[in-house]
Structure 1
Amino acid sequence: MARQKDERPTWSRPYMEKRILKLLRNHGDRAFRAKEITKRLDIIERADFLQARDLLEELADSGKVARLKGNRFGFRPPANIRAGTVRVHPDGFGFVTDDDGEEYFVKGRRMGTALDGDRVEIGLGAPARDGRKREAEVIQVLERGRKTAVGTFHRHGHFGVVAPDDKRMTRDIYVAREDWGGANEGDKVLVTIDRFENPKSVPEGRIVNVIGSANDAATRVLALAMSVGIDADFSEQALEEARAARLEITDADLREREDFRGENVFTIDPVDAKDFDDALHIRELQGGRVEVGVHIADVGHFVPEGSALDKDAYARGTSTYLVDRVIPMLPERLSGNLCSLRPNEDRLTYSCVFELDETAQILDYRITPSVIHSKARLTYEQAQAVITGEDSEAPSPVKDAILRLWALAEHLIRERFKDGSIDFDLPEVRVVLDEAGTVTDIVRKDRLPAHRLIEEFMLLANKTVARHVSKQRPRREFVYRTHDHPDKEKIQQLVGYVRGFGYQVRSEDGTIEPAELNRLIREARGKPEEPVIQTAALRAMAKARYSPDDSGHYGLGFRHYSHFTSPIRRYPDLIAHRELRKMRAGRPGPDYGALKAQCDHLSERERVADEAQRESVKLKQVEYMQQHLGDRFTGVISGVTRFGIFVELDAILVEGLVHVRDLADDYYEYDEPAFMLVGRTSGRRFKLGDPVTVTVAAANTETREIDFVLV
C-alpha cells in the first residue's frame, strides 16, 4: 500500500491571507512576529514562510493589519468593528465592553450565538443620542467565555435539557439521551457547552458531573458555587503530591531560619478554623521596648513553583468560604495540617519581627524564614475575655501577651485613622445551620477588639513587607495590593444617596477626603440606617486589586501595601513569600508582563470567590424567609426606585423589595433627586432611612429574591 503524503494545506495567497486575518482577529488583544504567525498556522516550507512574511508587510501597508513595535503584527479592525467581552442580562439583551473599555448595548435579537462571558466581535450601529449607549450587533463569537454550566436537569422523552442556574445564561442546553451521565429528573448537574452555531437553535452539551438532588440543601450551595466558577475538586496529581508531603525540619532548615520555638508564640482564630495562617509573640526588651513577631505559615516550602499543587492553587487563587463549608485553595493535608500553625507542634514559618517602642512606633524590623512552636490556640472569644478581664482558659503568659499586644494595637489603630484609613466596620451575619444544612437562625456577628488586635498586626506586617521591597529594590517587580481613589461619579451618587437620610457630605468635583468619609460613618453610628450608610459608602469605593504597580491603598491610607499574611488561603501571599526568598538569595525578580497577568487572574478569582460566598449567604437568607412567610419584621428603607422600596430587616440584615404595585393606598411617583416615593393624592412619602414594619410575602430560591408587603 502506498504511503499517504502529509495532508497540509496548499498555501494559495488568498487562503493564506484569510488564515492570517482570522488568527489575528481571534487574538485581537495580542501581537505576533512573522515567525510566530507561521508557526501557529503550521507553515513549514521556506517558500510559504517567505510568502507569509511578504504578505504581512503588504497587509500592514494596506492597513488591514497593524504593524506594531518590535516588528510585530496585530489585528486592525475596521472603524465600525470592535472586539470585547459580552455580559448578558437575564432578559436576553447584553452589553459588550471592548478592549478600550467602551461599552455598547446589544439587543436580544442581535446577540447571535453569544453567551454570557464570551469574547465576541461586534459591528457598531449609528452613534448614540441622548446619552444612551451606542448599539451594536454580534458578528461572531471569537472565544467561549465558559466551557461548562451548572443547572437543573429535566427529561423530555428521548432527550433532556439543562436549565442553567445562572440566569445570565438565557438558553437551556440540549442533552442527547446517551449523554445524560446517570442524571435523574431535577438533579443539579455540570454540563459542557459543546456546540452552539445557530441562534435559532439551542446550545448542545453533555452531562459530566451529577452534583446531587436539587432538594438537598448542601447540593444547592455547592451547585451555586460551581455555577459562578468555583472548582471543588483537586487534580489527582495535586492530591498525590499532598499525600507525599512531609514535615521534616532538618539541620539545613534550621541553619537558614531564625528559631522562635522558645518564645511564647500563640494563635487567635475563629472557633471553627482549621487553617491557622498566623501566630504572634511578644517579648519585653530594655528601655520599654518590645519585640513583636508576626509568624506566617511557610506554604512555599510545601508547594514548589510549577508543581501540580501550585497549578491547582493558582487556578483557584483563593479559598472560598461558603455558608456551609470551605473550599480550600490547598488540599486539607496541607491547609489543615502541615502548613497550619497548630499548637504544640513545630512549624516552618516566614516572620516579620518588629522592635517597637511603647507607642507602637517601629524602631527596627527584620523579615526572615523561621521555625516556631505554638504554645496555645485561642479563639477570638477567649482572647476577648482576656482583654475585658473576664475569666479565660488562656495560660497566664498568653494572657499577659494579649494585654500587652492590645495596648500596642490601640496605638496602631489611632495612628492609622489619623493617617487617613477609613473606618469601615460593616455588620455581618452568621447563618446557623443544622446537620441537614437547614437554616435554624440568622444572627449578627460581633466584631470584637480581639479581631482588631489580630487585624492591626497583620496590616503592620503587610505594609512593612511592601515598603521593604519598594525601598530596598525599587525597580524589582512585586505583587502589591492596591486600591484606587473612588470614581467621581460614584462619589456624587453617594452624596445624593446619604442626603436622603439627612447627611451632608463635602465633596469637591466628585472627590472626597477619607476624613470626610470617616465623619459620615461616625455620624451614622448607632442609628437604624448605619448598616445601609456603611454599605453605600463601601460600594462607592473602587475595588481593591492585585498589581505589580506600587500605587498605594486609598482605603487604608497606606503608601505601600501587599498581602503576605495568609498564604494558606491566598495565592498572592504565596507569590510574596517566594519573591522575598528570591531577594534574599540575590535571584532576579519576575517579568512585569507575566506578573501583571498573574495579578489580573488573581483579582478575578478573588471576585468570583466573593460572589460565591455572598450568594451562598443570600440563598440561606431566602430559605430562612421561606420558613417565615406571613411573619412580621421591623426594618429600615435602604433603597428607593421607580418600582418599589427596598427594606433591610433590623435584626438579621436580610433585604427584600416592597413592590410599588403593593402600595395600594395611592398612586406613587418617584422623586429621583430626593430618593423618595410620593403619593399623588395623599402626599405620603417613603424615603431612605424610614423605619417600617413588613410581612414576608414571597421568597424565591431560584432568583434569590424576597418580597415584602408593608403592614
Structure 2
Amino acid sequence: MKKERKTKKKHCNNSATGFINITNHGYAFVYIKEFKKDIFIPKNKTNKALEGDLVKIRFYNSKGIKMEGEVLKIIKRKTKQFIGILKLNVPHYDKFGRVHSNNLHVDILVPIQKLEKCYHNNKVLVQIISWPKKFKNPLGKIVKVFGASGEYKTEVFSLLEEYGISYKFSPKMENEAKQIFYKEILDINFRRDMRNVNTFTIDPLDAKDFDDALSIRKLSNDTWEIGVHISDVSHYIKEGSLLDKEAYSRATSIYFVGKVIPMLPKILSNDLCSLQPKKDKLSFSYIFNIDSKGKILKNWFGKTIIRSDRKFTYDEVQSIIDQKKGDYYEDIYTLFSFSKILTQNRLKNGSIYIEKVEVRFHLDEKNNPISLYLEKNNDAHHLIEEFMLLTNRKISEFVSLNLDGRLSNKLYIYRVHDEPDYQKIFLIKKIIEPLGYFLDLKNLKTSINHLLKQTRGKPEQNMIENLILRAMSKAKYSIKNIGHYGLSFIHYSHFTSPIRRYSDIIAHRLLYYYLTENTKGKNKNKLNPIEFYERQSQYCSYKERLAIDVEREFLKYMQVKYMKKFIGKEFDGIITGFTDWSVFIDLLLFQTEGMVRLRDIEEDSYILNSNNYSIIGKKKRKIYQIGDKVKVKLVDINMEKKQIILDWIANI
C-alpha cells in the first residue's frame, strides 16, 4: 500500500507558487488560487521558509487525501527583519543568544560575541543574515535595541517599528514648520470676521490639538446663527511641500494610551493650527441659520478668522447641562437642544446608533496603568458629535449637488460605508436568539437600533455591539460616492479633523477650489487628475486601518499589564468566541478579553461544535455558547503574546 501511494504521488505531482502561512507548531499552508483548500505543508517540508514568504511548492493531488506539498524554493522573503525578545543563557546554546518572535516558528540565533550591549529579555530588531544547511535555526544580527520587554517606551517604539510608522520629524521639516509659524498672515481681509461672536472649544481634558470650535448668536426670537469652525490647516500646509508630503505619508495621528504620534509637527498641531482660546485663529467654517424647530434656513461655507473665548472640557460642559448654570450656559444649552433634534432626525432617517464604552487608564509618572475606568459618551460628547456630523454632511452635499438638487458631478473625497456582510448578520441572529433577542433582516437598521437599546446596561451589551461592528463593512475614503450605510447619509465626507487626518486636508483643498473657481486671481490651483485623488483616498483608508490596528494592539498591552495585579482573583465573564483550542471571555468589570484553554476545563472534555459558536462536552453533552455567563479565575498573563490566561470555575 505504501509503495502504491508513493507511486501515485510521484505521478500526480505539480508545482505552483504562493505565499506561505506557517503555524507556531511549524507546519504550514500555502494558498493557491486554483484550489478551494490551502495546500498543507508538513513540518519537515517547509525548507527554511518563513511566515509570509513567496515560495515555489510541489504538491500531490491524491484522491481521498488532503492536498500535501513541500517547499522547493523561496522566491522572495517577506522580510528579513523581525522584532522579538532576546533570551540569553539558554541551555545547549551557550555560544548564541536566541531571539524569539511571535511572528516566527523558529528562533533566530545571534553569536554571543555580537551581543555586548544587549541584555536578557531586551526587545530587539533582528536581521537574518544566513541560514546554514546544518542549522535548524537562522543566524542573525541585532539592528536595534528598544529596551526591556514590557516597559512602556519599549512597547511604544517597537510597535511603531513593527508597523513601519514614522515618529520623528527631520530637522528640515521642523525648520519648514518654524518658517510657517513665523510667516505673516496676508489674507485676513478676505476672511469673514467672527471674532466678536461667542465661540468656544469642547474637548477631552488631555487634548493638545483643538480642531474645531462652535460659535452661536441669537438673530431673532426664533432664529440663531451657529458656526462650526474647523482649523484651516490647508492654509499653512501647501500641496507638494515637504511637510505636505510627510503629512500624507503619515496620513493620520496615532493615539496611544499616554502618547500621541502626530501627523504634523507639534509647533503646528498643538500651537499654530490649534484653535486655542484668546488668540486669533484661521478657520474654515460652516455657518448656518436655524429656527427653534431645528430647521436649517441658510448655509454659508468659507474661510474665517475666529477668537475662541473659552476652552471647555467635556466634563465641564456636561456639568453645565446637568446643573443648568455656568459659563455660557444659555449658549451651551441652546446648542445641546439643537443637537438633540439633530440626533432624533438622524435616527428617524435610519442611522445606526452604537454607543461604545471606551477603556481608559489613569497612569503614573512612568506611564504604568494604576487604575482602569470605562468612559461612556455623555451629552457633551453627543453635542459635538452631532454638529461635526452635520458639517461633514452639509459640506459634502454642497459640493455634490447643484442648487436644484441634481448631482453636480464635481470631484470630491467621500467617507463611504457599504452595506454589511449579510452572512455575518445572519450569524449574529443565530447567536442572539438563544439569549432572547431577535433581528429582523427585512428591517435591519431599525432592528439593530432596537437590539442595541434592549442590551444597554446588560452583561452581553459589549459582546453584541462588537458582533455588530464586525459584521459591518469598514468605512473608507473614495471619490466614488456610494453613501454611508451606518449613518444613512447619501453624501458624507470627513472635513472636521484636518490636524489629525490627511483626508480632511484633501476635502478642505477641494472645497476651497470650488468656492473660488469663479473668482478672478484667487484660484491659482488646478485640480489633479481623478486617479490622483482616488489613489490618495485608498492610501488614507489603508493608513487609517493600520493606525486602528496599532492603537488596538497597544491598548491590549496596557490591559494585560494592568491585569497582572489581579492574578489569583475571580471574575464574572461572558463567552465571546471559540477556537478549536480555546474559549474567549469578556471580563465584564474591565471589558477586557481573556482566554481559557479547552484542555484546562476540568468538568468535561469539550470540543468545538461544527457551527463554531458553541462547545459541547464529550461525556455529559453539556453545551456552552456565545453569550453564556461564566465565572473564571485569572491564573496568568503573557506579556509577549498580550494574552490573559483564565481558569474555568463555573457557569453563572
Q: Under a length normalisation based on structure 1, what TM-score does the superposition of the two structures give?
A: 0.79
Structure 2, unaligned runs of 5 or more: 1-13, 518-524
Structure 1 position 439, deviation (Å): 2.1
**Structure 1: distance between partners of 2:609 and 2:315:** 47
Aligned to 1:466: 396
When residues 670 and 114 of structure 1 are mapped into structure 2, their CA distance, relative to the original with a 3 A threshold, is closer
The residue that corresponds to 1:701 in the other structure is 639
Structure 1 equivalent of residue 385 of structure 2: 455
Distance in 2, matches of 1:139 and 1:517, equals: 50
Residue in structure 2 matched with residue 560 of structure 1 by the alignment: 491
Instruction: State the secondary structure of the residue aligned to 2:566.
Output: coil
CA distance in 1, matches of 2:129, 2:173: 27
Matched residue, 1:658: 596
What is the alpha-carbon distance in structure 1 between the residues aligned to residue 235 and residue 67 of structure 2? 51
**One-letter amino acid of the counterpart of residue 254, structure 1:** I
Aligned mates of 1:650, 1:331 — CA distance in 2: 39
Question: What is the distance in 2 between the residues matched to 1:249 and 1:133?
Answer: 70
What is the CA–CA distance in structure 1 between the aligned matches of 2:452 and 2:421, rounded to whole Å?
A: 19
Equivalent residue in structure 1 for 2:330, among 374, 382, 400: 400
- Aligned match for 1:529, one of 447, 450, 460: 460
Instruction: Describe the shift of the 1:518–1:571 C-alpha distance in structure 2 as closer, same or farther (beyond 3 A).
Output: same
Task: In structure 1, give the amino acid aligned to 2:635.
Answer: A
Change (3 A) 1:551 1:702: same
Contact 1:500/1:674 (<8 A) preserved: no
1:489 aligns with 2:423: yes
The answer for the alignment partner of 2:163 in structure 1 is 228
Instruction: Report SS of the residue matched to 2:401.
Output: helix
Q: CA deviation at 1:644?
A: 4.1
Larger mean Cα displacement after TM superposition, 595-604 or 95-104: 95-104
Question: 3-state DSSP class of the match of 1:666?
Answer: coil
Q: Secondary structure at the match of 2:181?
A: coil
Deviates more, 1:101-110 or 1:219-228: 101-110
The alignment partner of 1:313 has SS state of helix
For structure 1, which segment, 94-103 or 529-538, has the greater mean C-alpha deviation from structure 2 after superposition? 94-103
Distance 1:243 1:626, change over 3 A: same
SS in 2 for 1:599: helix
Does the 8 Å CA contact 2:360/2:372 hold for their aligned counterparts? yes
Q: 1:317 aligns with which of 251, 262, 270?
A: 251
**Correspondence for 1:298:** 232
Q: Indicate the residue corresponding to 1:346 in structure 2.
A: 280
Match of 1:36 in 2: none
* Contact 1:112 1:199 (C-alpha < 8 Å) held by counterparts: no
> Deviations 1:93-115 (Å, cap 9, x if unpaired)?
66777899999556376766765
CA contact (8 A) 1:623 1:701 kept: yes
The question of 1:260 aligning with 2:260 is answered no
Counterpart of 1:412 in structure 2 is 342
C-alpha distance in structure 2 between counterparts of 1:385 and 1:679, whole Å: 52
1:532, CA displacement in angstroms?
0.5
Task: Give the letter aligned to residue 556 of structure 1.
Answer: L
In the alignment, structure 1 residue 151 sits paired with structure 2 residue 84: yes
Question: What is aligned with 1:507?
Answer: 441
Deviates more, 1:221-230 or 1:376-385: 221-230
Cα RMSD (Å) of the superposition? Answer: 3.4
Sort the Cα spacing of 1:101 and 1:126 in 2 relative to 1 into closer, same or farther, 3 A. closer
Q: Which moved more, 1:107-116 or 1:239-248?
A: 107-116
| AA aligned opposite 2:438 | Q
Q: Which residue of 1 aligns with 2:555?
A: 617
The answer to whether the 8 A contact 2:31-2:39 is kept is no
Query: Aligned ranges for residues 354-393 of structure 1 at < 5 Å?
Result: 354-389=288-323, 392=326
Q: Distance in 2 between matches of 1:585 and 1:194?
A: 57
Cα pair 1:424 1:534 within 8 Å, conserved: yes
- Pairing partner for 1:163 from 83, 95, 100: 100
**What SS does the corresponding residue of 2:305 show, helix, strand or coil?**
strand
| Mean Cα deviation higher: 670-679 or 362-371 | 670-679
Residues 289 and 299, structure 2, Cα contact 8 Å, conserved in 1: yes
CA contact (8 A) 1:153 1:188 kept: yes
CA distance in 2, matches of 1:103, 1:624: 41
> 1:291-310 deviations in whole A, cap 9, x for unaligned?
11111111122222222222
Structure 1's 675 and 600: CA in aligned 2 closer, same or farther, altered over 3 A?
same
Check 1:377–1:117 CA distance in 2 against 1; reply closer, same or farther (3 A cut): farther
- Name the counterpart of 1:56: none
My pick for the range that moved more, 531-540 or 630-639, is: 630-639
The 1:207–1:575 alpha-carbon spacing in structure 2 relative to 1, beyond 3 Å, is farther
Q: Give, in whole Å, the separation in 2 of the partners of 1:311 and 1:205.
A: 34
Change (3 A) 1:604 1:204: farther
Aligned to 1:584: 515
- TM-superposition CA deviations, 1:525-557 (whole Å, max 9, x none): 222111111111111111111112111111111
Shift of 1:176: 6.7
Give yes or no for contact 2:49–2:55 (8 Å, CA) kept in 1. Answer: no
Partner of 2:270: 336
Evaluate the alpha carbon distance shift between residue 256 and residue 626 of structure 1 in structure 2; reply closer, same or farther with a 3 A threshold.
same
Which moves more between the two structures, 437-446 or 195-204? 195-204
Contact 2:214 2:227 in 1 (8 A): yes
Give yes or no for contact 1:656–1:707 (8 Å, CA) kept in 2.
yes
Identity %: 35
Contact 2:575 2:628 in 1 (8 A): yes
Paired with 1:494 and 1:131, the residues of 2 have a C-alpha distance of 34
Displacement of 1:562? 1.0
Distance 1:108 1:489, change over 3 A: farther
Report deviation, 1:124: 8.8
Structure 1, unpaired ranges of 5+: 1-78
Q: 1:614 to 1:526 in 2, by over 3 A?
A: same
For residue 177 of structure 2, give the secondary structure of its aligned residue in structure 1.
helix
Aligned length: 620
Deviations 1:161-194 (A, max 9, x none): 5433xx2344545657897695444332334567
3-state SS, counterpart of residue 323 of structure 2: coil
Tell me which amino acid in the other structure corresponds to 1:433. Answer: L
CA contact (8 A) 1:229 1:608 kept: no
SS at match of 1:630: coil
Do the aligned partners of residues 448 and 93 (structure 1) sit closer, same or farther apart at CA in structure 2, a change above 3 Å counting? farther
1:540 aligns with 2:477: no
Change (3 A) 1:421 1:436: same
Deviation at 1:447, TM superposition (A): 1.4
Q: Paired residue for 2:447? A: 516
